[in-house]
Structure 1
Amino acid sequence: MRSPIPDYLAEVHDTCGELLGGAVADYIPELAAADPDTFAIALATVDGTVYAAGEADHRFTIQSMSKPFTYGIALADRGLDQVLAKVGVEPSGEAFNEISLDPDTGQPRNPMINAGAILTHSLVEGEDADARFEHLRQTFSRIAGHPLPMDEDVFTSEWATTHRNLAMGHMLKAVGVLDIDPVDAVEGYVRQCSITVNCRDLAMMAATLANGGVQPASGELIFRRRVVRQVLSVMTTCGMYDAAGDWLTTVGIPAKSGVSGGIIGALPGQVGIAVFSPRLDEHGNSVRGLRAFERLSRDMGMHLMDVTRDARTSLRGSYVTDGDHPTEVHKVQGDLRFAGVESLVRAVSAQPPRASRVAFDLTRVSEIDDVSTRVLLEVIRRLHLDDKVEVLIIDPDHVLGEHGVEVPYARRLHHVRELTAS
């Protein structure tokens, strides 16, 4: 059986790809040359599975999507107190490149605007500018799961036009909050923004944050949970700049955008998401990316404030019964939401059915949300029509199909004991 999740992402990609509004960033010559029609979506689970649609292998520069990860590195290197003494955590309500500091402290208001990101870069450990950048690049590579290069052409183009950022660097030095040479700090920040990634890389990097700082594929602990909590909190309130409030209420996923056209989102305990499309709106955020995130959040119940009551693994186990009517049984538990139903779908679709009957034991399931209901119904349909197996639902409390939802292609049982009698 084919998993329906790639099909869903493809449908979101096709629908959102019809949007033609916005324009590519033109204040950096290399970015102005980007193909405005490139569009990709990737979703990575906290156990390392990546789903993608569109041009997910297309490479581009990370730009401001680097800021949460650099903030995490600075927190890990210096500790929370030292970083907070230099960079605040309050939303600025201003554009990403606004030249402004807190009037009382002289600090940048948060690490997601450029002034704060320049100062944050200066807090990454290293004896000089080259050492700081290499420490940062290597850590980014560990988070992505493979070496990430820097685009020299984009760096050269951006460095030649970065007068506003240089003004911020000199301003930070003038008020006494920047300890290193301001030109070195700005150059390092521009190099940081010129690291290249693709949508799959970004989804895995976001999934590392969603996974409590553990890289999903390698299992390596990159950031401790206290660091991740701080990073995700600041992403939630400041990651989308002066559109942060609208984003939080509409999408509700900690996120960060970049002027190359990407947006990353990390939903704690569930998934990392990345979208890339170069056409930007007036806030500097990808037009198609915004719409794609809205769809994913709405369809999959991913809003941060829509909290599950049980974050444990939903798939409790699978086995095949003995007897005259062998049945492949999948035991499910807890509240079933997207992350849980995805693991169930993966278990079912990883190999052909091991018996002529497949049963889903929902005895221990207390609630199934709308998206999980739709996904499970599609799995049942595909098992019945594509794999030609009989599907059984062990559902004594009718958690699947409550509120009048039809459950075609499956036969209901009230107890697992009925498998041997049917």
Structure 2
Amino acid sequence: MKDDIVADYLREILIELQDNSEGEVADYIPQLADADPEPFSVALCTTDGQIYAQGLNEGDVELEFTIQSMSKPFAYALALKEHTLKKVARFVGMEPSGEAFNELSLDGETKRPMNPMINAGAITVNQLINGEESPVEERVEKIVEFFSELADRTLSIDMATCNSEIETSDRNMSLAHMLRSYDMIQDESHDAVESYIQQCSIKVTVSDLAMMAATLANGGEHPVTGKQVCSKRVALQVQAVMASAGMYDGAGRWMASVGIPAKSGVSGGIIGTLPGRLGIAAFSPKLDSSGNSVRACRVFEHLSRDMGLHLMAAEKRGRVAVRNISTVEGSAADKGIKTIIRLQGDIDFNAGEKIWRTIREHEFASKSVLVDLDKVDEVNDVGERMLRELYEHFEADGYQMELVDSDGVLSR
């Protein structure tokens, strides 16, 4: 079976949304203003390290772009890892600001930024990394090293974009001056902004972002290397703040409609996490008036609706769906051998993906296959689609298929 059900599904979404031409590239940063508006890609990474990435055009999946504000959750994780929540919370809060990303948004009493997802909070978080006295070069080196560990490859900084942003950083510079006046940061304002902008200029692909997000979704344990990159408590804290403030003044609407903790960046990317299940990333450079990628937002809406990913949805979760695969004696037409695939539990995307992967890796002794669903309790929409397509793939490859579904779980 050469085709991939998950990849086919992701590509269908990209094709369905390809004619959406809404939005504009970020024109206030010269380097981003010249970006090609056409690339369009999406990637999923499961918490056991399987990556599925699709691009609309050749080269979209491999395309590197700057991480921008999608860096904020990961920098926050690093600051929490190096210090403690109590210390970080002295300088940065965790409440939604209800304002745009580039507003000052300080707590009236403490003068600390409202949360680490707005620029003022992100600049403050950046200054905690590697110690308040750290030179810019050493702080940035520590950040790149941590991000590389999350992506499981060596990342680098796009200095052309970085310099372009520094030239137009008056607003961030004013934020840094105010933060310094309130003793939220100790570094010179220019150095603080330069360090933050270098953080935002780290180059990533859509697959990198999905894996980085999956590490948070997996409680800080890297889905490929198995290393505990940050603690479970840190991963929980970061995702909680993403849920409440990751999409800025639209965070409430996002959680109500999409229901996935997320963070956007003005290069055109959006990352999302499904705790215990998935890391998600989508990329398309044209932005809406809030600075979020129009087509990437639509991708997340599709995934949330089709796959039952909304955090508040009363969906049952299923991952260990393949009960067993066995070989039994068959009829003469089966050459004396039949393979039985017994499934169980609740079939959602994660379960369907695991079924697909397990079956693809299995070596079948004959072309006679029976799929037994009698131990399956429930199948959601995307799970049913994946099961039906799996069945059709087998038939297209010349297998003689049987289906046992005594309770009719595929037709409820």
TM-aligned CA deviation for residue 352 of structure 1: 6.1
Aligned position for 2:17: 16
| 1:116–1:60 Cα change, 3 Å | same
**Residue number among 250, 257, 260 corresponding to 1:253 in the alignment:** 260
Equivalent in the alignment of 1:391: 401
Distance 2:102 2:370 in 1: 56
Contact 1:253 1:265 in 2 (8 A): yes
1:102 aligns with: 107
What SS class does the counterpart of residue 85 from structure 1 fall into? helix
Task: Report what 2:156 is aligned to.
Answer: 149
Q: Which residue number in structure 2 is paired with residue 376 of structure 1?
A: 387
User: d(CA) in 2 for partners of 1:161 and 1:302?
Assistant: 38
Amino acid at match of 2:303: L
2:139 is equivalent to residue 139 of structure 1 = no
Determine the C-alpha separation between the residues in 2 that align with 1:86 and 1:10. Answer: 43
**Amino acid aligned to 1:285:** N
State how far apart, in whole Å, the 2-side matches of 1:41 and 1:202 are.
Answer: 10
Aligned to 1:407: none
Assess, with a 3 A threshold, how the Cα gap between structure 1 residues 123 and 359 changes in structure 2: closer, same or farther: farther
1:253-301 C-alpha deviation (Å, 9 max, x unpaired): 1100000000011111221111111100000000111111111111111
How far, CA to CA, are the matches of 1:103 and 1:193 in structure 2?
Answer: 28
- How far apart, in 2, do the equivalents of 1:179 and 1:28 lie? 27
Corresponding residue number in structure 2 for 1:361: 372
Distance 1:267 1:330 in 2: 28
**Deviations 1:5-33 (CA, angstroms, capped at 9, x unpaired):** 11111110111111001000011110111
Q: Is the 8 A contact 2:95 2:115 kept in 1?
A: yes
The Cα shift of 1:214 comes to 1.3
Q: Which amino acid aligns with 2:89?
A: L
Equivalents in 2 of 1:312, 1:347: separation in Å?
12
Contact 1:3/1:346 (<8 A) preserved? no
Aligned residues with identical type, % of pairs: 47
1:294 aligns with 2:301: yes
1:314: how far off?
Answer: 2.2
Partners of 1:226 and 1:364 lie apart in 2 by 36
Q: 1:121 to 1:342 in 2, by over 3 A?
A: same
For the 8 Å contact 1:89–1:110, the answer to whether it is kept is yes
Which secondary structure state, in structure 2, belongs to the residue aligned with residue 266 of structure 1?
strand
Q: TM-score when scaled to structure 2?
A: 0.93
Partner Cα distance (2:91, 2:79) in 1: 11
- Cα distance in 2, alignment partners of residues 40 and 315 from structure 1: 30
1:220-239 to 2 correspondence within 5 Å? 220-239=227-246
SS at match of 2:98: coil
Query: Counterpart amino acid of 1:356?
Result: K
Please state if 1:161 is matched with 2:171.
no
Cα drift, residue 365 of structure 1: 2.1
Supply the distance in 1 between the matched residues of 2:341 and 2:149 (Cα, whole angstroms): 35
What is the distance in 2 between the residues matched to 1:61 and 1:354?
Answer: 48
Pick the aligned partner of 2:75 from 70, 76, 81: 70
Provide, for residues 8-60 of structure 1, a one-character-per-residue CA deviation record: whole Å limited to 9, x for no partner: 11110111111001000011110111001111111111111111221111110
The aligned residue for residue 349 of structure 2 is 338
Aligned to 2:42: 41
* 8 Å Cα contact 1:331-1:361 kept in structure 2: yes
RMSD over equivalenced CA pairs, Å: 1.6
Q: How does 1:70-219 map to 2 (within 5 A)?
A: 70-126=75-131, 127-219=134-226
| 2:325 alignment partner, one of 318, 328, 333 | 318
Cα pair 1:269 1:311 within 8 Å, conserved: no
Q: Distance in 2 between matches of 1:281 and 1:246?
A: 15
How far apart are residue 143 of structure 1 and its match? 0.5
1:311 Cα deviation after fit: 4.9
- Report if aligned partners of 1:30, 1:157 keep a CA contact under 8 Å in 2: yes
Is residue 320–residue 355 contact of structure 1 (8 Å, CA) maintained in 2? Answer: no
| Long gaps (5+) in structure 2 | none
Give yes or no for contact 1:353–1:387 (8 Å, CA) kept in 2.
Answer: no
Q: Is the 8 A contact 2:330 2:338 kept in 1?
A: no
SS at match of 2:341: strand
C-alpha displacement at 1:99, in angstroms?
2.2
Q: CA deviation at 1:362?
A: 2.5
Q: CA deviation at 1:190?
A: 0.4
Off by >6 Å, runs of 4+ in structure 1: none
Distance apart, 1:204 and its partner CA: 0.9
How many equivalent residue pairs?
A: 401
Aligned partner of 1:9: which letter?
A: L
SS at match of 1:265: strand
- Residues 43-98 of structure 1: per-residue CA shift (max 9 Å, x gap): 11111111122111111000000000000111111111111111111111111111
Deviates more, 1:303-312 or 1:160-169: 303-312
Describe the SS at the equivalent of 2:340.
Answer: strand
Give the corresponding residue for 1:416: none
2:291 counterpart SS class: coil
User: Which of the numbers 277, 281, 284 marks the counterpart of 1:274?
Assistant: 281
Instruction: Note the C-alpha offset of 1:312.
Output: 4.8
Q: Give secondary structure in 1 for the equivalent of 2:323.
A: strand
TM superposition shift of 1:180: 3.2
Comparing 58-67 with 200-209, which one deviates more in the overlay? Answer: 200-209
d(CA) in 2 for partners of 1:12, 1:57: 19
TM-score, structure 1 normalization: 0.91
- How many angstroms does 1:322 deviate by? 4.2
